Structure 1
Amino acid sequence: MPVAAPEIDAQYRVLREGAGLLDRSERARLSVTGSESAEFLQGQLTNDVEALAIGGGCYAALLDRKGKIRADMRVLRAAEDDFLIDTEQEAGELVLAHLSMYKVGRDADVAGAGAEERLLSLLGPQASKVLGIPLPREHDHRSVVIAGAECRAVATDLGADLFGPAAGFDAVRAELLERGAEPIGSEAAEIARVEAGRPRLGHEIGPGTMPQEAGINDRAVSFTKGCYIGQETVA
């Protein structure tokens, strides 16, 4: 049901002045582990995954052989041989199937996170204050304990995301609200996303879109790394 305009106005004000809290657990999350996980992802995705430091991350895309976007995602390096992938719900099965097929013969395990993990987004200038830790660069991430639950906090362009166990989800959410976050809806968050100029799969990015057409080359494409699927028409 659409949110009434006055309510959206109030939520938008929170996004501009405070910290809005939104449940985004519907997004798909995968893990890629193993001694060849970095090399494997390097040959599948558009960005330089091998160059990531532990605690760092990047935005990347999975292309078809004609250079068109099949999925976009956030890739986080949790350890030397441990990567986390966060993508749109509609792309989750596609990415899982693709990586599972192409990993044959490599020491790389691909698995979906399932319902064991949840995602909360803190959006707005007070996000870091509510979270209680600084996250200076987009995609930087670190472990943080909230309401007794160990979570992973990830810097975003509009605030921070918090990945945590489903078992402690309600307590984590309650703690963030106690610290000053205010609940918002997806409609207000979409307004902020569009204003920030960040295209989204299923909206501005469609099945026939190339990275340069979507305006994501500067964030998602490395022009110095080795070969990957679709590279010939992109880089």
Structure 2
Amino acid sequence: MAIPLDYGNAAAEYDAVRRAVGVVDHSGNGVLEVTGRDRAAFLHAMLSNDVKSLAAGQGCAASLLDVHGKIQTFLWVLALEDRVLLLTPPGRAQSTIDALDAYLFSEKAYFLDATGEFAIPMLAGPEAPALVHRLTGASLPDAPWGHLSASLASVSIRVVRGGGETGEPEALLLVPAPDGETVWQKVIEAGARPFGLAALESLRIESGTPAFGDDADSSVLLPEIPFLDKVSYTKGCYVGQEVVVRIRDRGHVNRMLRGLVLDGESVPTRGATIVADGNEAGRVTSAAWSFGLKRPIALGFVKRQQAEPGTMVDVVLPDGERAHASVSALPFAR
């Protein structure tokens, strides 16, 4: 399901998330169910984070890499008593199954694409934990991707602590699809304001959260983006680990995902050229109007030499003009 651009007032929607609580529809995300006695061990050997040590009710962010350390997809892992749920970016469920299946030999791990079987509203904002408690009686887990079963409007749901996509406390509700509209309306009636893509992108980019398909894809090395929440350096081998550890211990990456704060009012397009000292220094990967900073902001890859926060660069705009911009650390300071 595509997220609408807005619900009539993107700035007010943004303010609701920063000051109270908003709700966005993440039902377009993929959902995989992994069963079988070897499910945790197999995923542990495949993914960049520690899956094997997760107890039921715990979770983590992770990446699936290729042997060269390049990102094939982001994943969010939820351990249950009898299965593991993998949340994927939109459109990545089947390709994730295909990629994992290529490594599956005698292990007892079975994959089911459950995309579309769940509605996934996400509450975001400082009042999100209180709203979850008011609606379900459950307390949101403290750790990102921790989760628990609950009931809302007589519907059995799973409540998941988000990882900070918006920079605010978050709760994803995994709801059986037929009950999705009922739960959506109950959440709104309880005070959550729906927010659309314009507010979400402003929140996401301000928070420095890379989106798969925009800021990361199979051309990107994991250490080129903010990645510490997606990796364990103590878990042992996984696909692509050798490259990640070699970069940490003996080398560096030649480009980094950084923020850009632009002058003027024009938002650059994805792929816009970043220029420093008359030479191409990188490319914009995603951009939005920042309702917090009241100016355009972007994420983009810049060469290591220009990656220091405060470095001045130019960004080529859609009309061919150039906007001055300052390189920013992530998340952006508001």
TM range, smaller chain: over 0.9
Question: 2:139 is matched with which residue?
Answer: 134
> Where does 1:191-210 land on structure 2 (aligned, <5 Å)?
191-210=202-221
Question: 2:105 is matched with which residue?
Answer: 104
TM-superposed CA distance for 1:208, in Å, is: 1.2
The aligned amino acid for 1:212 is P
> Where does 1:92-171 land on structure 2 (aligned, <5 Å)?
92-132=93-133, 133-135=138-140, 136-156=142-162, 157=164, 158=168, 159-171=170-182
1:231 aligns with 2:225: no
Aligned equivalents of 1:18 and 1:90: distance in 2? Answer: 31
Give the structure with the higher percent helix: 1
Question: 1:43 is matched with which residue?
Answer: 45
In 1, are the aligned partners of 2:29 and 2:115 still within 8 Å (CA)? no
In structure 2, the CA distance between the partners of 1:31 and 1:76, relative to structure 1 (3 Å rule), is same
Question: 2:231 is matched with which residue?
Answer: 221
> Where does 1:172-191 land on structure 2 (aligned, <5 Å)?
172-191=183-202
**Percent identical:** 34
Question: 2:12 is matched with which residue?
Answer: 10
The aligned amino acid for 1:180 is G
String of CA shifts for 1:117-141, please: whole Å, max 9, x gaps.
1111111111111111322221110
Aligned equivalents of 2:95 and 2:194: distance in 1? Answer: 31
Aligned equivalents of 1:3 and 1:143: distance in 2? Answer: 30
The aligned amino acid for 2:236 is G
TM-superposed CA distance for 1:206, in Å, is: 2.6
Gaps of 5+ in 1: none
Question: 2:75 is matched with which residue?
Answer: 73
Q: Which has the higher contact order (CA 8 A, sep 6+)?
A: 1
TM-superposed CA distance for 1:91, in Å, is: 2.1
String of CA shifts for 1:78-128, please: whole Å, max 9, x gaps.
12x411000111322211112233233111111111322111111111111
In 2, are the aligned partners of 1:117 and 1:163 still within 8 Å (CA)? yes
Q: CA RMSD in A?
A: 1.6
In structure 2, the CA distance between the partners of 1:229 and 1:48, relative to structure 1 (3 Å rule), is same
Question: 2:271 is matched with which residue?
Answer: none
Runs of 4 or more off by more than 3 Å in structure 1? Answer: 1-4
Secondary structure of the corresponding residue to residue 104 of structure 1:
coil
Q: Report the structure number with the largest CA radius of gyration.
A: 2
Question: 1:58 is matched with which residue?
Answer: 60
In structure 2, the CA distance between the partners of 1:2 and 1:25, relative to structure 1 (3 Å rule), is closer
Aligned equivalents of 1:144 and 1:128: distance in 2? Answer: 14
In structure 2, the CA distance between the partners of 1:3 and 1:115, relative to structure 1 (3 Å rule), is closer
Deviates more, 1:183-192 or 1:128-137: 128-137
Instruction: Give the aligned length.
Output: 232
Gaps of 5+ in 2: 246-334
